[in-house]
Amino acid sequence: MLNYTPKEMVEREALVINPCKTCQPVGALYAALGVHGCLPHSHGSQGCVAFHRMYLTRHFKDPIQASSSSFTEGASVFGGGSNLKTAVKNIFDLYDPDIVAVHTTCLSETIGDDLNALLIDITPTLSEGKYIVHANTPSYFGSHIHGFFNMVNGFMKYLSVSTGTSNGKLALFPGWLNPGDYRELKRLMTQMNVPFIMLPDTDGTVDTPTTGEYTMYEKGGTTIEEIKSLGDCKSSLGIGLTISAPSVGFLDKKCKVKGDTIPYPIGIDATDAFILKLQEFSAEEVPASVENQRGHLVDMMVDTHQYTYEKKVAIYGDPDFVIGMMALCLELGMIPKYCITGTPSLTFEQEGKSLLEKYGVKEECKVQAATQLNTTTDLFLLHQWIKNDAVDLLIGGTHGKHIARAEDIPLVRAGFDVIDRYCHSYFPVVGYEGAMRMVEKITNALMDYQDSHCEEKDVEMVM
């Protein structure tokens, strides 16, 4: 497995091998799935949207719908305006969404289709109560993370308004997480008595129940009215320094709603920070149920520490996810030996390094994000590092499974994308609940490894 990856480190500046990111439009598509009654639309050639639907379907094992402008060579030379107009008519005729969320591909971006101008033409042709919004999502800039926040901001650009009357709510930008995480965030906000509007929210749209009936627009998703009302929120909170800070900034700029951004609430400390933010908003006591859950988590961390302490871990994936997992691992006494993301992120290395300092990690650890100029922070690089100085555990998505097998390292699957396991998207990694789940997964992975790899005389009945 991966037999041609040499141990000797090689310098690369142009060839990306086994990337730790994908391209913008799929992020926009996912964000749009978190809006109720929305059909995502890809303005480009149809191959992109086929791939993006495939990618998300494989992760969620759920229907993922989106349409395409289906560019031909002619449109690619002369512009895709008429393709978009035709598409919009057909979409409303056949699929009747409340809103169409258009994103672009490297094709329409390179030829310079002016979506602002096209939508000015198209919008007046829509029926009452129907909407169309857009975001530019060039695949040759940033990653799927950029596509996600560009689309979130696209919704706000078209819809959010400040009426001058506060709705008293918290605007929450939850970043790119699974529906199980979105549910957990909403549960905590409800427990903390914080009225909120969350954008996006795929709880109910990409984890739909099997009922014997298929409906294209399921019950979940942020409503159009809620997106409009974001402009009247009392304040905003972004979760994920890389993915949500741009949305906090955008809402402030457009509607003068002030806000803060905190890391993903993964692990105990980051969840505490989230709870404190919610308490700041509600100005109420933290309820006993939340405190109790936190206590359960601490209990687990104390109980399991002898299996996790000073174990070395490599974490890869999206920047906010990796930072979150890094924090959780440090709390468990683990050493986050290698932490990488393929997404260019200015805050990633800074945050990662300050976490290492905070926990006084003596071991030399690498925290590295790709940059716009050097994109070769990828799984090939991670594998080379591991070959030179091994780790005890991998945490990340499915694409690391070859490294796990090649080097015989247990892998805990989490983040995006997990396409070779089932059920995961229903359960959280965020909050105390999510941390408990991860503590169980991490500990079990390490203990399973011990059981299967120790000498026979050392197999323990009780552990």
Instruction: Evaluate whether 370 touches 18 at the Cβ level (below 8 Å).
Output: no
- Give the nearer residue to other proteins in terms of CB position, either 328 or 404: 404
Does 161 sit near other proteins (CB under 8 A)?
no
Among 28, 68, 156, 172, binds other proteins (CB under 8 A): 68
Contact with other proteins (CB under 8 A) among 249, 402, 407, 441: 402
User: Which residue of 6, 168, 287, 295 would you call a contact of other proteins, by CB under 8 A?
Assistant: 6
User: Crossing angle for the helix pair 288-308 and 431-453, nearest 10 degrees?
Assistant: 20
Select the span of 15-23, 119-127, 183-191, 429-437 touching other proteins (CB under 8 A): 15-23
With beta carbons less than 8 A apart as the criterion, state whether 188 and 276 touch. Answer: no
Element (H, E) at 99: strand 99-104
Is 70 an interacting residue with respect to other proteins (CB under 8 A)?
yes
Our CB check for other proteins shows the closer of 15 and 120 to be 15
Binder of other proteins out of 32, 81, 83, 416 (CB under 8 A): 83
Within 10 A of 58 (CB to CB), how many other CB atoms are there? 14
Omega within 30 of 0 (cis) for the link into 389: no
Q: Write down the least CB distance from residue 229 to other proteins, Å.
A: 29
Identified binder of other proteins from the candidate list 37, 79, 91, 272, rule CB under 8 A: 91
Query: Strand order in 411-413's β-sheet?
Result: 366-369, 335-341, 312-316, 393-396, 411-413
User: In this structure, how many other beta carbons lie within 10 angstroms of the beta carbon of residue 311?
Assistant: 18
Q: Whose structure tokens read 């390490």?
A: 446
63 binds other proteins (CB under 8 A): yes
Q: What is d(CA 306, CA 443) in angstroms, rounded to the nearest whole number?
A: 10
Contact status: 76 vs other proteins (CB under 8 A): yes
**104, 105, 244, 341: which one binds other proteins (CB under 8 A):** 105
Out of 127, 164, 165, 211, point to the residue binding other proteins (CB under 8 A): 211
68-76, 159-167, 246-254, 385-393 -> range binding other proteins (CB under 8 A): 68-76
Q: Determine if 143 is a binding residue for other proteins (CB under 8 A).
A: yes
**Binding to other proteins in span 213-252, by CB under 8 A:** 213-214
Residues 6+ apart with CB under 8 A from 307: 443, 446, 447, 450, 463
| Residue closer to other proteins, measured from CB, 141 or 449 | 141
By the 8 A CB rule, do 326 and 303 touch? Answer: no
Q: Which of 106, 194, 251, 411 binds other proteins (CB under 8 A)?
A: 106
DSSP H or E run through 40:
strand 38-43
| Separation of alpha carbons 3 and 376, rounded Å | 20
Let me know: does 66 contact 39? Beta carbons within 8 Å: yes
Which one, 84 or 445, has the nearer CB to other proteins? Answer: 84
9 touches other proteins by CB under 8 A? no
**Exposure on the CB side of residue 321, measured as CA atoms within 13 A:** 28
For residue 65, give the 3-state DSSP assignment: coil
Site for other proteins in 294-353 (CB under 8 A): 342
In 3D space, the residue among 362, 379, 361 whose CA is nearest the CA of residue 370 turns out to be 379
127 forms part of the interface with other proteins (CB under 8 A): no
- Within residues 342-371, the interface with other proteins by CB under 8 A covers 342
Region 22-61 residues binding other proteins, contact defined as CB under 8 A: 22-23, 25-26, 41, 44-48, 50-55, 57-58, 61
CB of 256 to other proteins, least distance (A): 31
Of positions 37, 79, 98, 111, contacts other proteins by CB under 8 A: 111
